[in-house]
Amino acid sequence: MYHKIGFIGLGLIGGSIAKAVRQYFPDYEIIAFDKNRETLALATQESLIHVAATSIDDNFKGCSYIFLCAPVSYNTAYLKQIAGYVDDGCILTDVGSVKTNIHEEVEALGLEEHFIGGHPMAGSEKSGYVNSKAMLIENAYYVLTPSAKVPEEKTERYRKFVEALKAIPVILSYKEHDYVTGTISHLPHIIASSLVNFVRDTDTEEEMMKQLAAGGFKDITRIASSSPTMWQHICLKNKENISRILEDYIATLQEAKRTVDAGDERGLYHLFDSSRSYRNSIPESSAGPIKKAFAVYCDIIDEAGGIAAIATILASNNLNIKNIGIVHNREFEEGVLRIEFYDEVSSSRAADLLQKFRYIVYER
Ligand SMILES: NC(=O)C1=CN([C@@H]2O[C@H](COP(=O)(O)OP(=O)(O)OC[C@H]3O[C@@H](n4cnc5c(N)ncnc54)[C@H](O)[C@@H]3O)[C@@H](O)[C@H]2O)C=CC1
Ligand SMILES: O=C(O)C(=O)Cc1ccc(O)cc1
């Protein structure tokens, strides 16, 4: 069946979703508008998009999905302009990190039957179309916030579409979304940025702090390299949640200071021990509800015959391979050999066997 998908904003997230659509639905037509003409030229040249719209115009008629993928306040501002092109078959959605403002505007404009908010919980400190890639959303949670009046059938359709793009749909109310992301995403960002500035402002004349800043500091401040515009929009639009969460968090910092000031041995141990346990209980991959595949991942030597050697080891031990191939994804950016089996017993036998042959095996 013919499908047309529209994008307004084709940066890191819009570009990545469009690339996933191109990969999994090669015959879908993709049209895009972005205020950056170079982005549209590049996306056309790379055959990602068929139409580079010069404004929000008739090209957006008849889309199955329209994705708003600009910074959050701009997405909301586009609703009025796009409303005329949203028909019954169209799901209007966004990818913004904050949801309340856009849902309120959707209600005000009477677009609730068409709008399902979306938020892929994936990204990076990089931005722009040039950094976009289909695998960015692979295995990532993708929150959907259906409007109150959106028909169940539309939410189900979108949920399946997200699954087909290899992400993991999770349905939340927009209010819950903003409270949860306020704590696990927006607060950490403010902490990272203010910590970086704190180091800059209190560094010695010779900038020793900057010079010595090691792994831990870099780990927890990586996100301070993200797009300032994006984070400015997020903090403006999730103001109430962020303000309350910051207040609560400052209270926990004050508590930590009291523990340090008091030289409270047990209190200090408890702080680090309890946080370590909870941190270790957070799953490394977000592939929770996805159907389990019986696969092992294994590093291979980059030389002719590398795959054949592994296939021979498995075949001579009566292990039947269902699927085999090199994969590049968020976890294994450099690429790894993925071998899928028909059942769990075979996959764990294969993992043991390959380890015996000194292959580095990752079980997932
Ligand atoms: N970067 C991340 O890690 C994530 C970002 N998001 C959300 O995705 C949205 C986009 O963020 P990114 O793709 O990271 O940013 P980005 O900066 O990579 O892309 C934004 C794109 O929108 C275009 N744009 C900006 N203003 C525009 C306007 N007024 N009209 C048309 N196009 C315009 C830009 O030219 C750019 O191509 C934001 O709402 C953000 O909250 C969601 C999940 C993760
Ligand atoms: O790089 C990271 O770890 C991020 O946290 C990226 C990110 C940024 C904004 C979002 O709304 C979701 C994810």
Please name the residue ranges forming H helices in 203-335. 208-212, 215-221, 228-237, 239-261, 265-280, 306-315
Residue 69 has pLDDT above 80, yes or no: yes
Closest ligand to Cα 124: 2
Q: Where are the domains of the chain?
A: 4-172, 294-363
Among protein residues, the one with the nearest Cα to ligand 1's atom 44 is 123
- β-pair partners for 199: none
Q: What's the 288 CA to ligand 1 centre distance in angstroms?
A: 27
Among protein residues, the one with the nearest Cα to ligand 1's atom 1 is 123
Residue identified by tokens 């009291």 is: 258
Which residue, among 128, 245, 248, 120, has the nearest Cα to 189 in the 3D structure? 245
Q: CB of 121 closer than 6 A to ligand 2?
A: yes
Q: Are strands 29-33 and 4-8 parallel, antiparallel or unpaired?
A: parallel
CATH (one of 3.40.50.880, 3.40.50.720, 3.40.50.300, 3.30.2130.10) for 294-363: 3.30.2130.10
Res. 292 pLDDT band, cuts 50 70 90: low
Q: Report d(CA 81, CA 159) in Å as an integer.
A: 26
Q: CB of 12 closer than 6 A to ligand 1?
A: yes
- Arithmetic mean of pLDDT, 322-342: 79
Q: What's the 263 CA to ligand 1 centre distance in angstroms?
A: 46
Q: What's the 203 CA to ligand 2 centre distance in angstroms?
A: 28
Q: CB of 83 closer than 6 A to ligand 2?
A: no
Q: What's the 121 CA to ligand 1 centre distance in angstroms?
A: 14
CATH of domain 4-172: 3.40.50.720
Helical axes 187-202 vs 239-261, angle rounded to 10°: 50
Alpha carbon separation from 91 to 4, 26, 121, 144 (Å, rounded): 11, 20, 20, 12
Q: What's the 50 CA to ligand 1 centre distance in angstroms?
A: 20
What is the model's pTM?
A: 0.82
pLDDT in tens, 238-280: 999 999 999 999 999 999 999 999 999 999 999 999 999 999 9
Among protein residues, the one with the nearest Cα to ligand 2's atom 2 is 124
